[in-house]
Chains A and B, each alone.
Chain A
Amino acid sequence: MSGTRAMAILVAKDLRIEMRAISLAGPLILAIIAACALGLALPAGPLRHGSGALCMAVLVAGLLSIERGMALERQDDALASLLLIPAARAVLYPAKLAACLVHLATISLVVTPLCIVFFSMDLGDSLGRVALAGGLGLVAIAALGTVFSAALAGGASSRLLPAVVAPLLLPVVLLVARGTPSPGVLLAFDAVFVAAGWIGFDALMEEVA
């Protein structure tokens, strides 16, 4: 089986389960509340206020969502059955990453309009760059979050995911929060995070299993 097909199957599985369990609802509501709270607390004006609020809302909700994504694999030891399929083992990381990106994108699509309204963000000519920066930021969150959610296998340690991942993501968050970061820098962060995740995920899975 081709890796792409196996990946498509796994992503479809993840999305189906998330849709059915409505597990995205919790993070989504949290993101909306965070965006509303920050929007009411901070004054409208500079673009970075809105970008920062958006980053925080997506980061908090995203990490919750990522933790849930691996939890469903660990529940009832379902992950073990995936690990016995050779093709799946190779594509498990990109598949989880892709599913995670879909979740983060969904959260972003809901929260971004709120932030635009609350912070009167005038994107104007910078819309494309902001969108690109946001997208790359999401990849960074997803790449790092997926690896660490796998590393912090189950139980109480999985609750530590935000505490471990958030400091590592701080440079990315600060860059995105500035509103118009350099895409090249974000791309470099993404490349490092994704490559490390891909390389280490198989070993992590063996330990998790």
Chain B
Amino acid sequence: MTAQLGEFLLIVGGAGLLAAIAAAVLRTLATRARAARAGLIVGSAALLGALALFIAAHARADLQLAAVAARCDASLEIPWRIVAAWSGGEGYLLLWASLASCVASAVALGRRRVVCRGEPITLAALASIPLVLVGVMLSDADPFRTLATAPAEGHALHPQLRHWAMAVHPPLLCLGMSASAAPFALVAGALWARRGDRHWVARVRPWVILAWASLGAGIAVGAFWAYVQLGWGGYWAWDPIENAALVPWLLLTALLHALMGHERRGVGKVWTAALSAAALTLTLLGAAVARSGLVQSVHAFAAAEGAGVLAIAAALVAVAAATLIIARGDLLAPDSSPAPAATRDIAITIGSTLLVGMAAAALLGLITPVAVRIMGGVGLGVAPAFYRRTFVPAALLAGVLMALAPMLPAAPGRARWRGLGIATSAAAVGIALAFLSGVRHPAVLACAAVLAMMASLPILQGASEVLEFSRASGYGIAQAALRVLDRTRRRIGGQIAHLGFACVMLGVAGSSLLAARATAALAPGESLTLAGRTLRLIGVRESRRGDANEVRAEVTLDGNATLRPAQRFHDGYDAPTPSVALDSGLAADLYVVLAGWEPNGARATIEARVNPLVAWIWIGAGLMAVGGGVSLSPRLLPRGTPIVAASPRAPHVSPMPGAEAPIPDAPAIHARGLACRAGGVDVLRDASFDIAAGTMTAILGCNGVGKTTLLRVLATLARPSAGTLRLFGGEPEAARGSIGLLGHQHMLYRDLTALENLVLAARLHSLADPRSRAIEEIARFDMSHRADERVGRLSRGEAQRVALARTLLHRPRLVLLDEPLTGLDTEAVVVLCETLRDMMRRGSTVVLTLHDPAAARRIADRVLVIERGRLADAIEPASPRSAERVEASP
């Protein structure tokens, strides 16, 4: 029954995924997207059901299933039975397919409200990966294949796989591989829809971070497992299967950095698209190699099926990506006027190039043995020395760049000398500490310097930001820290990940370059000394533990602690399994293995290694995963959380004009027969209207019909050639200080920073504590991280955010916005709408020009249509109060 139900679920899952792909050719966009989502949800639900069924079969030790009988037995404890579910080729495929379909569903559900033309292509591309895996399962690697006769006992899971790391290593790798499909699918969808702008970068980034963090954590857990379980003293053997996971991880790291250039400066778009495609291609290629049976590795699946299909899928992705990149080459050209490259941008580009170079080196190690085997050769591969010569210098250089990048100027001509001074001092302290600890190797000293630099700057920078925010906002240190963390979590996540990378570098350098090893055959009472540590053999014992016969040596370390390295002979397995004795510390690990023994226990061969700094690798890997998590974390504080504390320490914030007063009955704007001529042309003719206070009015019209002129007349910047205008019942000039205007241009000084522009406006409006007010407003539009950047170096959207902050800074009674949504992302539109809604509740009147009639009707109380300088129509949307109606308009 389990087998039939499982296969049925696989078929349903495949059908759902197939339907999602087929939906891409349906007629209307909305139907396509809806059908694709439905297909994906059905597919992922069915595959998750199949996975649950498969795990349950293992937990029950249902030996009727061939996959269960091959790796599971009732004698195993239940956790190891579950681990056995994904330790085989079929289970691994099922896990991967389930997670890949879940990723596809998450991408689909994450974009429900807005459908762009590329969405069906994105969803189809995402659905195709799990569909290929389902195809492999249904044809060659059926996890629910039954045996004609169920055996009385199964073949229990390999003893070396009975470790907690194996419970999380495959799921993490599968999650990373699944998520690595999303960036390419999103890029493909955007290119298909002919969108070469920067907006989709924000959608791609979380998936890149998820894939990067999951793959990285999976690799680290796998390395830890190899270290403690395999008994050879190392954690990374540069075998092809290890490289198969490392290559996409390196490419994803490069992609994360390439996205920064794409988003900030509009350059490197081809690089971004190519890296996203390469990450997915090489993920599939790596999986194909792992299942090919052509390479020898403890990580490879023996005689697993589907390698050919996966290799073909990899080739198809590569061909599709190349075709799309060539066909849409015009969209991938750099922006016509990119922001000038700062030193930091150059450092990031060099770092990304180094990462791609390292990936190429690892790829060579992945494909060489396979190519040699295909061509008839045997046993030829890439020696570890090759990696030492390529990876070590590249990683060191990347590390130094990574440490220096945050201190390098983010804009041309703005050197952070203070930061560089701090970093240099920290590097000197790091080298001195390492030197005093006995380290003399230059590479390890360099790593210590990099680590010290990486650790110092974020801490000092973070502390400075928290103190400044606390001073400006009135919050206590803890509250201020929470708010700063909340707003800058992406940057902080990146800095934590960088710190983790530096820790890993230090650990790898220390354990590779400073390791010591000794082997001795000892009689009881004899000792072995290594790196100042003495191991004395007490004796060797044999005993029965669980399903294994164990030979265990007892060794004292420096006369105090007792270590017990052992070898276990599990039932059903000929080769012994080592049990490593570890004495771990931050400075070094003492790694002891029982390498041999005489049957009577008269002598035991003890192999001891001192692996310096290896613990830093696990600390670093943990930090990198935490960094990814912090970057991905949602806002801790809701958007409406006040930025300035209400405590007595809070600075005085200038009250909004009219904040306490009821909304007056008199119209905020009273215009009769307004006309305006410019250059002998009647730009505005006979415009008569009243706009009530506390409402939002949208002005619609084609280009050049006079919308902007009308706004400038209302703002008292242009004098009407005829007609009467009264603002708040008085002369327009009297209301000047109560007007906030956002024009076509951002109306900011390019050579002042964003914050300086706002402080200037706050001072000229006589606001109390202008700096705090400016910080508060800039934070509202999520521009704190760019507050010290000159406006001339901000992107269009960022400048628009700052311009909005400047417009609303003094809480004007009359807000005039000319195309305010231009260049804004969804998040900024939401903030703008929330702020306007708040201001309208307090009596402010909003007039804005828009091109989009749907958006105008959605957010405004009233719509005025202008045609050739005349008011042609006035439409009153149905809702009674705009304050309740203003909502995010993507």
**A, B from the same assembly:** yes
Interface residues of A (CB under 8 A from B): 1, 6, 9-10, 13, 16-17, 20-21, 72, 75-78, 80-89, 206, 209
Query: Is the pair A85, B718 in contact by a Cβ cutoff of 8 Å?
Result: no
Assembled-state Cα–Cα distance A72/B751 (Å): 9
Assembled-state Cα–Cα distance A88/B719 (Å): 19
Which single residue of chain A is at the shortest CB-CB distance from B760? A13
**In the complex with contacts A84-B715, A86-B736, A86-B737, A78-B751 CB distance below 8 A:** no
Assembled-state Cα–Cα distance A86/B764 (Å): 9
Query: What residues of chain B lie closer than 8 Å to A83, measured between beta carbons?
Result: 717, 736
Assembled-state Cα–Cα distance A83/B740 (Å): 11
Among A16, A81, A89, which residue has its beta carbon within 8 angstroms of that of B761? A81
* A23, chain B: closest CB distance, angstroms: 9
**In the complex with contacts A9-B764, A89-B736, A80-B749 CB distance below 8 A:** no
Interface residues of B (CB under 8 A from A): 712, 715-719, 733, 736-737, 739-741, 743-752, 756, 760-761, 763-766, 790-791, 806
Which single residue of chain B is at the shortest CB-CB distance from A205? B717
Query: Is the pair A17, B749 in contact by a Cβ cutoff of 8 Å?
Result: yes
Query: Is the pair B712, A209 in contact by a Cβ cutoff of 8 Å?
Result: yes
Query: Is the pair A78, B736 in contact by a Cβ cutoff of 8 Å?
Result: no
Query: What residues of chain A lie closer than 8 Å to B750, measured between beta carbons?
Result: 72, 75-76
Provide 16 A-B residue pairs closer than 8 Å at the C-beta atoms, listed in order of the A residue.
Answer: A9-B760, A9-B764, A10-B764, A17-B751, A75-B750, A76-B746, A77-B745, A77-B747, A81-B761, A81-B806, A84-B740, A85-B736, A85-B737, A85-B761, A87-B766, A206-B719
Query: Is the pair A78, B737 in contact by a Cβ cutoff of 8 Å?
Result: no
Assembled-state Cα–Cα distance A206/B760 (Å): 22
Query: What residues of chain A lie closer than 8 Å to B806, measured between beta carbons?
Result: 81
Assembled-state Cα–Cα distance A1/B737 (Å): 12
* B823, chain A: closest CB distance, angstroms: 14
Mostly, the A contact residues are helix
* B764, chain A: closest CB distance, angstroms: 5
Assembled-state Cα–Cα distance A89/B715 (Å): 14
Assembled-state Cα–Cα distance A209/B745 (Å): 13
Query: Is the pair B749, A72 in contact by a Cβ cutoff of 8 Å?
Result: yes
**In the complex with contacts A9-B763, A16-B752, A209-B712, A77-B737 CB distance below 8 A:** no
* B749, chain A: closest CB distance, angstroms: 5
Query: What residues of chain B lie closer than 8 Å to A13, measured between beta carbons?
Result: 749, 752, 760
Query: Is the pair B737, A84 in contact by a Cβ cutoff of 8 Å?
Result: yes
Assembled-state Cα–Cα distance A84/B756 (Å): 18
Known: A80-B747, A81-B806. 12 other contacts (CB 8 A): A6-B764, A20-B752, A72-B749, A75-B749, A77-B745, A80-B717, A80-B741, A85-B764, A87-B766, A88-B764, A89-B736, A206-B717
Query: What residues of chain B lie closer than 8 Å to A6, measured between beta carbons?
Result: 764
Assembled-state Cα–Cα distance A64/B483 (Å): 47
* B736, chain A: closest CB distance, angstroms: 5
Query: What residues of chain A lie closer than 8 Å to B765, measured between beta carbons?
Result: 85
Query: Is the pair A80, B743 in contact by a Cβ cutoff of 8 Å?
Result: yes
Query: What residues of chain B lie closer than 8 Å to A209, measured between beta carbons?
Result: 712, 717-718
Assembled-state Cα–Cα distance A76/B749 (Å): 7
Which single residue of chain B is at the shortest CB-CB distance from A77? B745
* B340, chain A: closest CB distance, angstroms: 14
Which single residue of chain A is at the shortest CB-CB distance from B746? A76
Among B716, B717, B718, B747, which residue has its beta carbon within 8 angstroms of that of A78? B747
* B710, chain A: closest CB distance, angstroms: 14
Which single residue of chain A is at the shortest CB-CB distance from B742? A81
Query: Is the pair A21, B751 in contact by a Cβ cutoff of 8 Å?
Result: yes
* A144, chain B: closest CB distance, angstroms: 25
Assembled-state Cα–Cα distance A207/B752 (Å): 26
Query: Is the pair B760, A76 in contact by a Cβ cutoff of 8 Å?
Result: no
Which single residue of chain B is at the shortest CB-CB distance from A206? B719
Query: Is the pair A84, B741 in contact by a Cβ cutoff of 8 Å?
Result: yes
Among B716, B760, B761, B764, which residue has its beta carbon within 8 angstroms of that of A87? B764
Among B716, B733, B748, which residue has its beta carbon within 8 angstroms of that of A76? B748
Query: What residues of chain A lie closer than 8 Å to B791, measured between beta carbons?
Result: 76
Query: Is the pair A81, B741 in contact by a Cβ cutoff of 8 Å?
Result: yes
Assembled-state Cα–Cα distance A16/B749 (Å): 11
Query: Is the pair B717, A1 in contact by a Cβ cutoff of 8 Å?
Result: no
Query: What residues of chain B lie closer than 8 Å to A20, measured between beta carbons?
Result: 751-752, 790
* A129, chain B: closest CB distance, angstroms: 39
Query: What residues of chain B lie closer than 8 Å to A78, measured between beta carbons?
Result: 747-749
Query: What residues of chain A lie closer than 8 Å to B744, measured between beta carbons?
Result: 77
Which single residue of chain B is at the shortest CB-CB distance from A17? B751
Assembled-state Cα–Cα distance A20/B793 (Å): 14
* B713, chain A: closest CB distance, angstroms: 11
Query: What residues of chain A lie closer than 8 Å to B739, measured between beta carbons?
Result: 84
Query: What residues of chain A lie closer than 8 Å to B764, measured between beta carbons?
Result: 1, 6, 9-10, 82, 85, 87-88
Assembled-state Cα–Cα distance A81/B748 (Å): 8
**3 closest Cβ pairs, A-B complex:** A209-B717, A77-B745, A1-B766
Assembled-state Cα–Cα distance A209/B756 (Å): 23
Query: Is the pair A81, B747 in contact by a Cβ cutoff of 8 Å?
Result: yes
**In the complex with contacts A9-B763, A82-B764, A17-B747 CB distance below 8 A:** no
Assembled-state Cα–Cα distance A86/B743 (Å): 18
Query: What residues of chain A lie closer than 8 Å to B741, measured between beta carbons?
Result: 80-81, 84
Query: What residues of chain B lie closer than 8 Å to A16, measured between beta carbons?
Result: 752, 756
Query: What residues of chain B lie closer than 8 Å to A86, measured between beta carbons?
Result: 733, 736-737
Query: What residues of chain B lie closer than 8 Å to A10, measured between beta carbons?
Result: 764
Assembled-state Cα–Cα distance A116/B503 (Å): 65
Assembled-state Cα–Cα distance A13/B746 (Å): 17
Among B733, B752, B761, which residue has its beta carbon within 8 angstroms of that of A17? B752
Query: What residues of chain A lie closer than 8 Å to B747, measured between beta carbons?
Result: 76-78, 80-81
* A72, chain B: closest CB distance, angstroms: 7
Which single residue of chain B is at the shortest CB-CB distance from A85? B764
Which single residue of chain B is at the shortest CB-CB distance from A79? B747
Which single residue of chain A is at the shortest CB-CB distance from B753? A20
Which single residue of chain A is at the shortest CB-CB distance from B763? A9
* B795, chain A: closest CB distance, angstroms: 14
Query: What residues of chain B lie closer than 8 Å to A1, measured between beta carbons?
Result: 764, 766
Assembled-state Cα–Cα distance A129/B710 (Å): 54
Assembled-state Cα–Cα distance A1/B810 (Å): 14
Query: What residues of chain A lie closer than 8 Å to B763, measured between beta carbons?
Result: 9
Which single residue of chain B is at the shortest CB-CB distance from A8? B763
* A3, chain B: closest CB distance, angstroms: 12
* A17, chain B: closest CB distance, angstroms: 5
Assembled-state Cα–Cα distance A137/B761 (Å): 33
Query: What residues of chain B lie closer than 8 Å to A206, measured between beta carbons?
Result: 717-719
Assembled-state Cα–Cα distance A98/B582 (Å): 76
* B851, chain A: closest CB distance, angstroms: 20
Query: What residues of chain A lie closer than 8 Å to B749, measured between beta carbons?
Result: 13, 17, 72, 75-76, 78
Which single residue of chain B is at the shortest CB-CB distance from A203? B719
A9, A85, A89: most-surrounded residue (chain B CB, <10 A) = A85
* B755, chain A: closest CB distance, angstroms: 13
Assembled-state Cα–Cα distance A80/B741 (Å): 8
Query: What residues of chain B lie closer than 8 Å to A88, measured between beta carbons?
Result: 764
